[in-house]
Amino acid sequence: MERMAVVLILLGLALIVIYGGFFLIKSLLLDAGMPILIKIGLILILLGIIVVLIKMIWERARGGDDEDVNRKY
């Protein structure tokens, strides 16, 4: 039951952060006065963050853990 409560709280926080971030990025990218290089840079940074997050989630879901405590070199 406690685990479900934590999951619901985290989902709620994630939705609020995603919603706010969406409108922040939308307002930045649609600003006519902002140079095109800054817009492209923001898009590339966001895509990089998304790729890293997806990769981390994918690795965790597969059970792959890079840190093997018992490994001897």
Q: Is the pLDDT of residue 68 over 60?
A: no
Q: What is the pLDDT of residue 32?
A: 82
Q: According to the model, what pLDDT value does residue 69 have?
A: 58
Q: What is the sign, positive or negative, of the torsion defined by CA atoms of 26, 19, 45, 52?
A: negative
pLDDT, one tens digit per residue, over 14-42 is 899 889 888 887 887 788 888 889 888 88
Q: Report how far residue 30's alpha carbon sits from residue 38's, in angstroms, rounded to the nearest whole number.
A: 12
The whole-chain average pLDDT of the chain stands at: 82
User: 59 Cβ partners below 8 Å, 6+ apart?
Assistant: 66
Give this prediction's pTM: 0.55
